[in-house]
Amino acid sequence: MLALRYHSIGDLAGLGLEDIPVPVPAAGELLVRIRAASLNPVDWKVATGSFRLLVRGGVPRTMGSDFAGEVTAIGSGVTTFAPGDRVFGFIDPFRRTAGTFAEFAAVPAEYAHRLPDDLGYRDAAALACVGATAVTLCNLGQVGRGSQVLVNGASGGVGHVTVQVAHARGARVTATASAARHEFVRSLGAHSCIDYRTEPMDRWPDEFDAVLDCVPNIPRAVQRRLLRRRGHYVTTVPSAATFMLDPLANRCGGVQRHGVLLKPDTRVMNELLGYVAQGRLRCAIEREFPLQLARDAIERSRSRRVQGKIVLVI
């Protein structure tokens, strides 16, 4: 089968399509014929060495974490899926060396979700990781009816779904995006927009209940200014401070800081699929690429200018 692999971490020079054996699913895993995968920044960040301390398993690695396709075989102990089932989800890019930018991938059953009949492979692959991230951001930020929410980076993969989830929960959403994309984020449910290129952060309105930082780039002092007392700041890229300092600081009151650490969670996926079924959430796909042009797709993602998502069709 074809797989997009790399043999060293640091740059993408050695990244290329290789013909390798189809994996055999281990206990608790499904073998999935991948039909579509979507690109997340973490895929190339792992390959270029941004997360050296977190990455397990060495090289070679097959890139990719989101997937959608059909189950072709199951490992021992799997009772929840059978060959022929249509599934989607994401795998842990830090721990799995065999990613999803390939014709087949073995995925742990708990990371797979049944695909509703009316959701196509491309839309599902686009949604998996960013959708779970968006709902987790809103959960950690305690976003609900009437919440005043700032979504920073609202036109990107995570941001554009976060706007929709917060809006669907009844929040009033302020979105940051470059001016050309304000109409896009308004169409997703944002009530007001800030052009982060011309409006410095110290002039952004304050008194938010939650700041959901999908860039993320808001300094701690600015977080404090933007938020009401005991408001929530949630980042998509947790740091050492998120785990060591913030849990203690949160107990003292003031800004409550959290970071998203994705785990498979059926409730999170069900919330997303509920919005999709109600027509209240859609993933905007900026462009689709065949697996053979994955390098071009990665370059586009590395520009940090993608509106919505990039999908690989396999």
Ligand X SMILES: NC(=O)c1ccc[n+]([C@@H]2O[C@H](COP(=O)([O-])OP(=O)(O)OC[C@H]3O[C@@H](n4cnc5c(N)ncnc54)[C@H](OP(=O)(O)O)[C@@H]3O)[C@@H](O)[C@H]2O)c1
Instruction: Give how many residues touch ligand X by CB under 6 A.
Output: 30
Q: Select the residue interacting with ligand X from 222, 237, 284, 313 (CB under 6 A).
A: 237
User: Interacting stretch for ligand X, rule CB under 6 A, among 143-151, 155-163, 219-227, 241-249?
Assistant: 155-163
The yes or no reply on residue 96 touching ligand X (CB under 6 A) is no
Tokens 């305690």: give the residue: 142
The yes or no reply on residue 30 touching ligand X (CB under 6 A) is no
- Return the number of the residue (187 or 217) whose C-beta is nearest ligand X: 217
- Return the number of the residue (174 or 176) whose C-beta is nearest ligand X: 176
User: Interacting stretch for ligand X, rule CB under 6 A, among 15-23, 52-60, 106-114, 128-136?
Assistant: 128-136
The yes or no reply on residue 141 touching ligand X (CB under 6 A) is no
Q: Select the residue interacting with ligand X from 153, 168, 169, 273 (CB under 6 A).
A: 153
- Return the number of the residue (176 or 256) whose C-beta is nearest ligand X: 176
Q: Select the residue interacting with ligand X from 20, 22, 215, 284 (CB under 6 A).
A: 215
The yes or no reply on residue 148 touching ligand X (CB under 6 A) is no
CA quadruple 123, 124, 126, 127: dihedral, nearest 10: 120
8 A C-beta contact, residue 173 and residue 210? no
DSSP state letters, 257-296? EEE------HHHHHHHHHHHHTT-----EEEEEEGGGHHH
- 180-183 — which CB contacts under 8 Å span 24+ positions? 181/154, 181/155, 181/307
What amino acid is encoded at 192 in this protein?
S
Q: Select the residue interacting with ligand X from 80, 187, 192, 217 (CB under 6 A).
A: 217
Residue nearest to ligand X (CB): 156
Is the bond preceding 60 in cis, omega lying within 30 degrees of 0?
yes
The yes or no reply on residue 155 touching ligand X (CB under 6 A) is yes
8 A C-beta contact, residue 179 and residue 197? yes
Q: CB-side exposure of 228: number of CA atoms within 13 Å?
A: 10
Comparing C-alpha atoms, which of 216, 256, 217, 253 is closest to residue 236? Answer: 216
User: Interacting stretch for ligand X, rule CB under 6 A, among 11-19, 102-110, 126-134, 270-278?
Assistant: 126-134
User: Site mask, ligand X, residues 41-80, x = CB under 6 A?
Assistant: xx--------------------------------------
The yes or no reply on residue 35 touching ligand X (CB under 6 A) is no
Cα–Cα distance for residue pair 263/265, rounded to 1 Å: 6
Q: Select the residue interacting with ligand X from 301, 311, 312, 314 (CB under 6 A).
A: 301
Tokens 């490992």: give the residue: 75
Q: Select the residue interacting with ligand X from 4, 36, 37, 40 (CB under 6 A).
A: 40
Cα–Cα distance for residue pair 234/305, rounded to 1 Å: 22
Cα–Cα distance for residue pair 267/273, rounded to 1 Å: 10
Residues with Cβ < 8 Å from 299, sequence gap 6 or more?
none
Cα–Cα distance for residue pair 314/310, rounded to 1 Å: 13
Q: Provide the binding-site residues for ligand X, judged by CB under 6 A.
A: 40-42, 129-130, 133, 152-153, 155-159, 176-178, 181, 196, 214-215, 217, 236-237, 260, 262, 301, 304-307
